[in-house]
Amino acid sequence: MRQCDDVRDSKDLELERQFVRECNWQREEVEGYRQIFSAHADWTGELGLESLALLLGPLVEMSESTLRDLPTLVKEVHPEGREAARFPQFLRLVERLTRETYGRVNDEAARVVRRQQQKPRKS
């Protein structure tokens, strides 16, 4: 069992490196997304559709259409076509959502940042 986990983890690391090369993301960006992913992943190291919808909810307009499309998007970024995301697939999903401005994700993210900047800072 441990060998299967090691092989899967090795594949994940290679997929992550490949993504960083292709998309030219900075290490800091990847690590920030890793923290978000890790805080929501289940014991198998995956995010299922429900967890992804909850995680993306504050950033993506989760209309009925968006919820209907989410399984297809997740399967398209997963090398085995599964409706779950390990960290490399999560990165690909985030990249695709922002590139395609899916569910107004860029507008919603900018709104969240503006709100954070307007909050009074504690001394």
List, for residues 15-68, the tens digit of each pLDDT value.
888 888 888 888 888 888 888 899 999 998 899 988 988 888 776 667 777 778
Q: What's this model's pTM, rounded to 2 decimal places?
A: 0.72
Give the max Cα distance, the chain. 51
Q: Which CATH class is domain 2-118?
A: mainly alpha
Q: How far apart are CA 1 and CA 16, in angstroms?
A: 23
Q: Domains of the chain: which residue ranges?
A: 2-118
CB-CB contact of 85 with 46 (8 Å): yes
